[in-house]
Homo-oligomer: A and B are copies of this chain.
Amino acid sequence: MIELSKAEFAVMEALWQGYPAKASDIVQRLSDDTQWHEKTIKTLVSRLVKKQAVSFEKDGREYIYTPTIGREAYTLKESQNFIARLFRGRVAPLVSGFAKTQQLSQQDIDELKQIIEQWEQKQGK
């Protein structure tokens, strides 16, 4: 699997916001959230290309970048790894921790209920 560092992930987020995109677009978007120097961002983009998380097409002197992996797929994989490492693959203990420390909102609860409902429907029960 493609592994992304935190900074690289942040750049991916900017790209996922809309693509294909020029480097200058990515820099632009990131300037809202970070203080990163343009050079820093370009370096990160290069590393992403090297890791094949991002591909590009040339447009004259500029490159037009596109993510090769979707946000959903990537975050799912990451979540699986994380949950496997910290909670032996089971998601409930994580949610439980959130519950115990008052970090669940009504919205969270509603969504969880819906997830459960759909799950049970699919189980044909």
Interface residues, chain A, with chain B CB atoms under 8 Å away: 6, 9, 72, 75-76, 78-80, 82-83, 85-87, 90-92, 94-99, 101, 103-105, 107-109, 111-113, 115-116, 118-120
Contacts and interface: CB of A to CB of B under 8 A. Distances in A.
Copies of this protein in the assembly total 2
**Which of A82, A86, A87, A91 has the most B CB atoms < 10 Å from its CB?**
A91
Contact of A86 (B78, B111, B118): B78
A86 B75 contact: yes
A10 B14 CA distance: 33
Given A79-B82, A92-B108, 5 more contacts: A75-B97, A76-B98, A91-B95, A94-B94, A99-B118
Nearest to A96: B115
DSSP class of A's interface residues: helix, strand, loop or mixed?
A: helix
7 contacts: A6-B85, A75-B87, A76-B101, A91-B103, A92-B112, A96-B115, A113-B116
B91 A108 contact: yes
